[in-house]
Structures are given as structure tokens and as C-alpha cells.
Amino acid sequence: DSGVTQTPKHLITATGQRVTLRCSPRSGDLSVYWYQQSLDQGLQFLIQYYNGEERAKGNILERFSAQQFPDLHSELNLSSLELGDSALYFCASSVDHGQGVRNTIYFGEGSWLTVV
């Protein structure tokens, strides 16, 4: 158990719909990362938040958005869903955003999203 909690574990929804994935980082971790994992693309970095602020953006679509709340939990919002958005979405956390400090990140169990 990494200490990173994600909900829901599984989600099935229709194309065009909107879903929200939730993540609680490990206690004390200020950075939250979101990743998308599909069979053909591997693990793709989407976005990172540090202490409530967006710090880095990866391959995140405009239909997707995220935020980190004052209690440090984070949500990833996926809208206008398409079949190709079906994937495993991971949240990960680390204690800092890495300036001058070693940065190991720990992953949650993931949220399986199936778009039908």
C-alpha cells in the first residue's frame, strides 16, 4: 500500500459524458501527478500540482482538467469522453516538487475508465 488513494477503482461511462477521478496523496506529500496508461501509449504524464498550484503539464488534452484543493487532494476531470480515453488513470504523489531534493513518487492503484 503506497498510501495514495484513488477513487473510483472502476468506472464505465458512455461517450460524450464527463467523469471526475479523485486522488488523496500520501500524508505529507505536497505534489500530485496524474498519469494515463493505455496499452499502446504506456504511461503518459498528464499534469502535476504542487501545494495547490499547477507546476507542469504533459500530454493533457483540453477536454481534461485537474485541480488540487487546500487539503491537497486532487481531482482529474475528463469531459466529452471518447472511446480512446479508455485507460488506467494513475495518481501519484511525492513529498516535494524536487528542487534540489531527490524526488521519488508513489503511485495509487489507479482508476480504470472504460468509455463505451
Partner 1 sequence: EDKVVQSPLSLVVHEGDTVTLNCSYEVTNFRSLLWYKQEKKAPTFLFMLTSSGIEKKSGRLSSILDKKELSSILNITATQTGDSAIYLCAGTYSGGGADGLTFGKGTHLIIQP
Q: Which residues bind partner 1 (CB under 8 A)?
A: 2, 4, 31, 33, 35, 41-45, 48, 50, 55-56, 58, 88, 90, 94, 97-99, 102-110
Q: Are 45 and 33 in contact (CB under 8 A)?
A: yes
CB of 5 or CB of 65, closer to partner 1: 5
Q: Which among 19, 3, 7 is positioned nearest to 92, based on CA atoms?
A: 3
Residue 28 Cβ, how far from partner 1 at the closest point, in Å? Answer: 16
CB of 48 or CB of 115, closer to partner 1: 48
Backbone angles phi and psi of 83, in degrees to 5: -55, -35
Residue 11 Cβ, how far from partner 1 at the closest point, in Å? Answer: 15
Torsion of CA 48, 50, 56, 61, to 10 degrees: 40
d(CA 50, CA 93) in angstroms, rounded, equals 9
Residue 43 Cβ, how far from partner 1 at the closest point, in Å? Answer: 4
CB of 42 or CB of 70, closer to partner 1: 42
